[in-house]
Structure 1
Amino acid sequence: MTETEAPFSSSKLREQLMRNVFETETHFALGGPVAELIEERTRTVDRVVIAAFEHTFTGIHDVALVATGGFGRRELLPQSDIDVLLIVPEPMRPEVNRALEALLSQFWNLGLQASHIVRSHRACLEEAERDLTSATALFEARYLTGDRDAFERLIVALEHPDLWPAPRFMQAKLDEQRERHARFNDTAFNLEPNIKEGPGGLRDLHALQWVIKRAFGTEAIESWADLRLCTQEELQALLKARDVLWQVRFGLHRLLKRREERLLFDHQRELAAQFGFQDANPKLAVERFMQGFYRASAAVQRLSRRVWERVQARVLPSQADQRELEHGFFVREGRLDHVEPQSLAANLDRLIQCLRLLAQANEKLRPAAALAGPMSSLCQQLSAEQIASLRTSLPNLLREPGEVMNVVEALADIGLLGRLVPAFDQVSGRMQYDMFHAYTVDQHTLFVMHNLARFNRESTQKTYPLAYEVRKRIRKPELLLLAGLFHDIAKGKGGDHSELGEVEARQFGAQAGLSQTDTDLISWLVREHLTMSVTAQKQDIGDPQVVHRFASVVRDWERLDYLYLLTVADISGTNPKLWNGWKERLLGDLYQTTRYALRRGLEHPVHESERIRDVQRMALELLAQSGIQANAAEALWAEYPAESFLRFSPTQIAWQTAAVLKHAGRAEPLTAVRSPTEHGTTEVFVYSADRDGVFATITAVLDRLQLSVLEARIVSSKLGHVLDTFQVLDAEHKPLIDPERIEDLGARLSDELGKPELSLTPARRAWTRQQKHFQLALKLDFSDDEAAGRTEMGLVCSDRPGLLAQIAQVFRAVGLAVHDARIATFGERVEDIFLLSTLDGKPLSLEQRDALSRTLAHELNPFARNRR
């Protein structure tokens, strides 16, 4: 007797399933081909499901058992659902109902994660007409056992041209895919990608399989080259990438023993170890593992787009007119094509013509799939001499007046950018394992270049007003784009990527035939690309000495313009949440003050007294507009320390002054809130008697209201008052808009600060899952300013809810005064700087530093266990 003819035994069938799981997982661990393991898993489940059906439906011959979904595609992974359809007669007889209940009971006993649908022939067709998802499931249905005639009648009916004709079905699937991609921000490079549903995921391939089967009658990916929907090279690359995704998904199911499609941070490290990756300085094992995944996902996204285009050309032929260009090229629906696309596979001159037309276009344009394939083939055949010749053409292409990102994206798509700049190929798919960088290095680089290319468009003027104006002065935009290309190109090589990137940029400049002056500018921009951001976010840019030091690095207006644009593009291209009005203000202020310093000349630095006079003069002009007399303001300012006029802008000084004068004669603390400010923040000002716990209480109130602090300016007056200003945003990284919330913030601060004892502590809030995963050891650095009687403390640690309020409690507990706080958060990494003193105005002694370090370690490090 064969296995299927043997007496039915659910225990033996269950044993078969368990043995299959053990064997496939063992073979997987030993490196067995994942495609074969998936095929074997499907065959085993087929046998078991068929046996269970034939046992429970004995004597019933008019019911068909059909596999759908991944089961129908023969794509079963360890935790995949077993989707089955039972085609039943109408009406349902009692014995069919009893058999169905018995079958479902057997599925349960066998441990199968089965999902079943029971429908008649008529109901199947009605549901297929009504619902795209149901139609899709039926189109990939696979006969298992039972009434074959019922199954074949259904397939014949489903193939009727009036039921989801191929053009309509394709358009519906394209729309469905666009919506799905939009849920993942249209990028395959999310930090926690979805293997199945995300862009470049397996569902992209499924969508193509469904459409191609509907249009051409075959679902096998292996047939696509024969159908002339892709080249043999593209097919092999696509199958290789699919197998990588299958392998990762198989490993994830094996690891978790449940169905999960998201590659969460929690699982990435474990999978990296499972696949045998090890840390190899400077790359972490998890970064190497994820680089392979991202490269596969990018290949699926890139190649499936080409297949879609070829299918569309045959199923939904374009009715749009084509615009003729030179040398046989033409444009249709945003794609550049050629009358003989295959001629590009062996014609370098035609390739260069194609790239030049892309760069000169005044519209978004990319090579048609018919061109992209031959272009990719040619790229792999080019000799070293030809690559060297093309390398000299790149600056010229980037100099063209059109949409130059057309050519950059095309070069990346066909693999030529990695040959022109080998270091770019090395960072392809490289993800930095943190919460700060939202994209892989190569994708981030393209985003930065895209930002640089669009700063001269009026459409960017609202979001980037200063960058729009600065961009008009750039004489050689190609140098700016090349700096964007090289700024992060040495990531992952170990050492300082800015310095290593400078070496790469100099080498490229020599190879591309750039002048020494141009090469020097690009190389300098790469080396200093973080300098402006770090200066603006981590130093007091109201201090003329800080500005003078930065101006000494920049040295001239031209380099300042280039560096400002690169800095803005870099921040905006790192993470969509990073750029806001506050960042714009910091960088804009540093740009303007540096420009002024350069105009005066570095040999004539701005002195503090000059800065103070200018701020007071402008503040008095603003106060006069509100009817406030100069003598009243100046009398109040006699109480202010000089540093107030260095730390605050004229607008802030005028606002604070007006509030304090209006509050005169009252004993209770003054709290004033303005929102939104010109910088896109909510600004909080506190004027009260200087006593122990003010800073800690303010930060605790802000924490309890779930407001994040961007900057804290702490000033003590000569008459014993604090003049504290905080720039804050809400949990959505936006300023407060609701008048009730603004009023409540002021009232809560006034209430707490007005109490005889300041005892409010921060709320205890749970960490996010990502914050728990990325944990850094606490790091402290101290330096003294003896003349000012201050100690500067740099703090690096993991971000967490309420961190600043917690630190403020520590400062209070060890008896320290806070004079300034500069807050900088980079994903999970906090890099804050505090200006501290003892309560009697002296720098911290070594003993006090040690006490502070121990207390901070005790309070903060319990949250930073299991560090990297």
Structure 2
Amino acid sequence: MSSGLRLHPAVIAAKERLTEVRSKLRSQHESGSLGVQVCTHFAESLDEVVLDLFHAAVADLDEPLRQLAVAESCVVAHSGFGRREMAPFSDIDVMFLHRAADEERLAPLVRRFSQHLYDTGMEVGFAARHPKQALQLARQDATIFTALSEARLVTGNTELFEDFRQKYSRQARWHWPALLHTLETARKEERSKFGETVFLLEPNIKRSRGALRDIQLIRWVGFTRYGESDPEALMRAGVLTKEEFKRLRNARDFLLWLRNDLHFQADKANDLLERHEQLRVAERRKYPKQEGLLPVEQFMREYFTHTSAVREIAGNVCANAAPRQWWRILTDPLFSHQFEGDYRIGPNTIYATGRGLKKLRGDTSQVLRLLDVANLYNKRVDQKTWQAIRLSMATQPPVDATEPVPDDVAKRFLSLLSTPGQLGASLRRLHELRVLDRIIPAMSHARGLLQFNAYHRYTVDEHSLRTVEAVASFQQHPGTPGQVYRSLHDKRILHLAALIHDLGKGYVEDHSELGSRQAIQLGKRLRLPLFETEQLSLLVLKHLRMSHLAQQHDINNAQVIVPFAAEVGSPEMLKMLYILTLADLTAVGPGVLNDWKQQLLTDLYEHTLTLISSESPAAQAKQRQKAQREELLLLAERYPDQPWWQEQIANLPSCCLFAGPSEQVIGELDRLRNLPHHQAMAWGRYIPQRDVVEYTVGTYEEITPGIFHRLTGTLTSLRQQILSAEINTLRRGLVLDRFYVQDQDATGAPSTQRMDEVSQALESALKNPSDKPPVFRKLWHERKQEQQAVVKHLPTRVTFDNTTAENSTILAVFAYDRMGLLYTITRTLFDVNLSVSISRIGTHLDQVVDVFYVTDRERGGKITDPGYLAHIHERLLAEIENLEQGAP
């Protein structure tokens, strides 16, 4: 018997047996065995282990009780153990089934047997129940119901088990509508926690959408609705087609193999396919070289292909199994009407008649006509109609991307794109049914295409569909984005650009340039007028332009904004580009479009709109600055020392001119006017419309070398996430630095005490400088050690731009963000004798980018010497690499 630290000999033997079995299974897996074979072999070995432990527990009982245990009870495997789909470190679920009258007498056996199971070190789900208990609990709890629907006898009274199984099946048939609802509700709750979309870039291969749990859902629905859980039996019953069965079997084999591999690699249960695991598995599977696609991207495309098939099949099975409410069966004929003989429009759905189904088979134009009618009546399309379309589309030959689509297809597709109402859902359906591929062939390449970086959360096709949905959502937006979107008379080109803007990804060439050419080809294919094709091409080509300008440049600088106004050309194009940029950021992932970025983009939009609306954008930009300086001079007349004011205002950088209301700008300058030499002052204010804190620092250049890196180090060490920084050197040696940050220790507005604390620390960093590097507090979500593989896979880049700014070199650092990165960069810039005038920090679109306007600290001006540029490049890369490696 088990007691204290002493294990029963049977338990010791079981532990040794499990170690031996897992070792053999690992060898079997590594030799290339199918996942289902490894899982089945493990389940069979577990049968033997459980049987031995049960017999050992029985052997410790008195003779009468031994006879009772053997004759009147049984050991039942259920859940994955029951299905024989046991990964190497899966939980093992066992039920001890007995007659109700024997519950008390068999209690000693239950204690011994369950203790033996737990003592093996396995994760065990154990329960002792009599049949009535099990039946009652299954009706109340979806988890118990699904588990016991997979019940399998391991040993014991066959008659008792078969009687239970018959009653269980009968109960499922009697209560199937309620049970189906319970099953689907439980699965939706699980998906909301582990991933509602198939296209998560770090999926849970058991619980995310389209994963193993959805294959199990098909089994559970089959058992509940049709009395069969095995997919092959469901195929014979007509619930699954032969093609669906084949795709489901292939997906199961792939996912079981992958789950086994994750378990063996971790040497414990692990169902999360993290980025470093994706790299490892892709290397193991030895994908052939493919231009424009990394092995890891090929692997994840294979993963998404399988999980998309599972999601689609599970959705069809659930929809077809759902009960039709009796009142709808009676009222649909009364409250529905025919539409041109091809469809019936009911209270809730639209479905095809027999004649309509014949027209829909393989005919893209008729499918689009159906969507037009559905949108016209604001009804969803019946599941069986969708299924008929899907089956017919699967057999259609590929299309020629260079040929125009039929005229009626083009007209109906463009009509669909014109209205935002059901656009997102309609395009998503067309994509699922492979209809969209026949209109936009490039969607085939984007299907399941992984963007292997740390910033996109979805695949290219999922991101594209979400961008369209984000665009359409601005119809209800109360702010500037909503006003701009609603002001567009014809939205179809904007919607089409949102759908195709990233379809150039997955090739060697820059995706915006390739996408622009794809847009021209698509315009011809859809018979768009030439000016609309040009609009579409320009939107795709420039879809990153506003984001890069707003987050990396001084948008008040005429040298930046005037060329952009010329690129855009018209207010209508600017409006579409503004909305597309907001939607693109929204669709990258949750929280990427924050209030700060939205306000930056809105400022850029409004500023550019003013320039475009004038006859001469350059003259308008100069006039805007001139008018601002005149207003500031007028406000400054009330102060003494007018020569000082005139000198400062005449030479204020553009970002200072428009840093806030004119009164605020004058107030900040007045603080600086009264600041003694060798002193510093700092103050903070919360900007609610951007959800950021602005810290302003005033001092003199003479106070200490390396002002910028000292301030960034101080802010980061106090857990201030720096979004943007402006470093301005004014006349007479004055310095005015401004940082826009989000406090990682506060939600919303930080307290006045907190802002004072940060301000005092900034002042102290300059008045009492130290060359000792700051200490950065570790975050709870600091990257795991094994995830360094992903960091190394995304190389650091340093680029120089000597053409955009008149007097500065623009230096951009593309790097994987981590604690201390910004301080490391700014300290290195100081060490290599550079002065920073403007900085944009931590943008998140395609790459994390830190941008700095720099000049030579001694000679001033741009850095043009190739040797000096190479030295800066090497030093930055070396210091960032040291940081990644944990070196000082």
**Common fold by TM > 0.5:** yes
Matched, 1:501 2:515: yes
Aligned partner letter, 1:842: G
Q: 1:74 aligns with which of 61, 84, 108?
A: 84
| Contact persistence 1:510–1:519 (CA under 8 A) | yes
Q: Does the residue aligned with 2:838 lie in a helix, a strand or coil?
A: strand
| Contact persistence 2:672–2:699 (CA under 8 A) | no
Label 1:630 to 1:376 Cα distance change in 2 as closer, same or farther (>3 A): farther
Q: CA deviation at 1:146?
A: 1.1
Cα separation, 1, equivalents of 2:597 and 2:631: 24
Q: Find the counterpart in structure 2 of residue 810 from structure 1.
A: 828
Cα separation, 2, equivalents of 1:788 and 1:513: 44
Q: 1:412 aligns with which of 411, 419, 431?
A: 431
Cα separation, 2, equivalents of 1:428 and 1:772: 26
Q: Find the counterpart in structure 2 of residue 353 from structure 1.
A: 369
Cα separation, 2, equivalents of 1:823 and 1:787: 18
Matched, 1:713 2:730: no
Q: CA deviation at 1:339?
A: 4.2
Unmatched runs of 5 consecutive residues or more in structure 1: 1-7
| Contact persistence 2:361–2:393 (CA under 8 A) | no
Matched, 1:730 2:740: no
Cα separation, 2, equivalents of 1:344 and 1:308: 26
Q: CA deviation at 1:422?
A: 2.0
Q: 1:774 aligns with which of 779, 791, 800?
A: 791
Q: 1:616 aligns with which of 622, 629, 647?
A: 629
What pairs with 1:647-726 in structure 2 (closer than 5 Å)? 647-649=656-658, 651=660, 654-659=663-668, 661=670, 665=674, 667=676, 669-690=680-701, 691-692=703-704, 693-726=706-739
Cα separation, 2, equivalents of 1:394 and 1:762: 58
Cα separation, 1, equivalents of 2:554 and 2:816: 23
Q: CA deviation at 1:718?
A: 1.6
Label 1:448 to 1:619 Cα distance change in 2 as closer, same or farther (>3 A): farther
Aligned partner letter, 2:825: I
Q: TM-score, normalised by structure 2?
A: 0.85
Cα separation, 2, equivalents of 1:814 and 1:527: 36
Unmatched runs of 5 consecutive residues or more in structure 2: 1-8, 60-65
Q: Does the residue aligned with 1:593 lie in a helix, a strand or coil?
A: helix
Q: Does the residue aligned with 1:675 lie in a helix, a strand or coil?
A: strand
Q: CA deviation at 1:412?
A: 0.8
Q: Find the counterpart in structure 2 of residue 438 from structure 1.
A: 457
Q: CA deviation at 1:659?
A: 4.5
Cα separation, 1, equivalents of 2:245 and 2:858: 75
Matched, 1:429 2:462: no
Q: CA deviation at 1:291?
A: 0.7
Q: CA deviation at 1:35?
A: 3.4
Label 1:500 to 1:366 Cα distance change in 2 as closer, same or farther (>3 A): farther
Cα distance per residue 1:702-732 (max 9 Å; x no partner): 1022111111111122232211111112339
Greater shift, 154-163 or 501-510, is seen at 154-163
Q: Find the counterpart in structure 2 of residue 644 from structure 1.
A: 653
Cα separation, 2, equivalents of 1:786 and 1:513: 38
| Contact persistence 1:711–1:822 (CA under 8 A) | yes
Cα separation, 2, equivalents of 1:735 and 1:554: 36
Q: Does the residue aligned with 2:694 lie in a helix, a strand or coil?
A: strand
Q: CA deviation at 1:508?
A: 1.9
Cα separation, 1, equivalents of 2:621 and 2:224: 76
Label 1:23 to 1:850 Cα distance change in 2 as closer, same or farther (>3 A): closer
Aligned partner letter, 2:455: F
Greater shift, 730-739 or 797-806, is seen at 730-739
Greater shift, 811-820 or 485-494, is seen at 811-820
Label 1:163 to 1:311 Cα distance change in 2 as closer, same or farther (>3 A): closer
| Contact persistence 1:197–1:203 (CA under 8 A) | yes
Aligned length: 846
What pairs with 1:118-133 in structure 2 (closer than 5 Å)? 118-121=128-131, 123-125=133-135, 127-128=137-138, 131-133=141-143
Matched, 1:175 2:189: no
Label 1:512 to 1:733 Cα distance change in 2 as closer, same or farther (>3 A): farther
Matched, 1:553 2:567: yes
Q: 2:282 aligns with which of 268, 272, 278?
A: 272
Greater shift, 546-555 or 213-222, is seen at 213-222
Q: CA deviation at 1:516?
A: 2.0
Q: Find the counterpart in structure 1 of residue 54 from structure 2.
A: 53
Greater shift, 787-796 or 476-485, is seen at 787-796
Label 1:565 to 1:63 Cα distance change in 2 as closer, same or farther (>3 A): same
Label 1:661 to 1:499 Cα distance change in 2 as closer, same or farther (>3 A): closer
Q: Find the counterpart in structure 1 of residue 219 from structure 2.
A: 209
Q: Find the counterpart in structure 1 of residue 6 from structure 2.
A: none
| Contact persistence 1:345–1:377 (CA under 8 A) | no
Cα separation, 1, equivalents of 2:473 and 2:804: 48
Label 1:685 to 1:760 Cα distance change in 2 as closer, same or farther (>3 A): farther
Label 1:104 to 1:404 Cα distance change in 2 as closer, same or farther (>3 A): same
Label 1:412 to 1:631 Cα distance change in 2 as closer, same or farther (>3 A): farther
Greater shift, 523-532 or 235-244, is seen at 235-244
Q: Find the counterpart in structure 1 of residue 818 from structure 2.
A: 800
Q: CA deviation at 1:632?
A: 8.3
Cα separation, 1, equivalents of 2:673 and 2:577: 46
| Contact persistence 2:215–2:248 (CA under 8 A) | no
What pairs with 1:575-586 in structure 2 (closer than 5 Å)? 575-586=589-600
Matched, 1:512 2:526: yes
Label 1:786 to 1:225 Cα distance change in 2 as closer, same or farther (>3 A): closer
Cα separation, 2, equivalents of 1:257 and 1:862: 31
Cα distance per residue 1:416-442 (max 9 Å; x no partner): 112222211111001111111110000
Cα separation, 2, equivalents of 1:288 and 1:679: 40
Cα separation, 2, equivalents of 1:230 and 1:644: 69
| Contact persistence 2:78–2:151 (CA under 8 A) | yes
Cα separation, 1, equivalents of 2:159 and 2:483: 72
Q: Find the counterpart in structure 2 of residue 460 from structure 1.
A: 477
Q: 2:75 aligns with which of 65, 74, 78?
A: 65
Q: Find the counterpart in structure 2 of residue 489 from structure 1.
A: 503
Greater shift, 289-298 or 552-561, is seen at 552-561
| Contact persistence 1:597–1:606 (CA under 8 A) | yes
Matched, 1:388 2:408: no
What pairs with 1:737-748 in structure 2 (closer than 5 Å)? 737-748=750-761
Q: Does the residue aligned with 1:173 lie in a helix, a strand or coil?
A: helix
Cα separation, 2, equivalents of 1:42 and 1:345: 47
Matched, 1:861 2:861: no
Cα separation, 1, equivalents of 2:302 and 2:750: 45
Greater shift, 485-494 or 389-398, is seen at 389-398
Cα separation, 2, equivalents of 1:29 and 1:387: 49
| Contact persistence 2:404–2:524 (CA under 8 A) | no
| Contact persistence 1:360–1:404 (CA under 8 A) | no
| Contact persistence 1:539–1:822 (CA under 8 A) | yes
Cα separation, 2, equivalents of 1:605 and 1:732: 45
Q: CA deviation at 1:600?
A: 2.3
Q: Does the residue aligned with 2:660 lie in a helix, a strand or coil?
A: helix
Q: CA deviation at 1:443?
A: 0.4
| Contact persistence 1:212–1:218 (CA under 8 A) | yes
Cα separation, 1, equivalents of 2:709 and 2:761: 14
| Contact persistence 1:615–1:645 (CA under 8 A) | no
Q: Find the counterpart in structure 1 of residue 837 from structure 2.
A: 819
Aligned partner letter, 2:783: T
Cα distance per residue 1:505-537 (max 9 Å; x no partner): 222222222222222221222222222222222
What pairs with 1:319-338 in structure 2 (closer than 5 Å)? 323-324=336-337, 326=339, 327-330=341-344, 335-338=349-352
| Contact persistence 1:52–1:103 (CA under 8 A) | no
| Contact persistence 1:762–1:806 (CA under 8 A) | no
Aligned partner letter, 2:686: S
Cα separation, 1, equivalents of 2:884 and 2:555: 32
Q: TM-score, normalised by structure 1?
A: 0.87
| Contact persistence 1:39–1:74 (CA under 8 A) | yes
| Contact persistence 2:96–2:110 (CA under 8 A) | no
Label 1:325 to 1:136 Cα distance change in 2 as closer, same or farther (>3 A): same
Greater shift, 202-211 or 221-230, is seen at 221-230
Greater shift, 732-741 or 275-284, is seen at 732-741
Cα separation, 1, equivalents of 2:747 and 2:502: 29
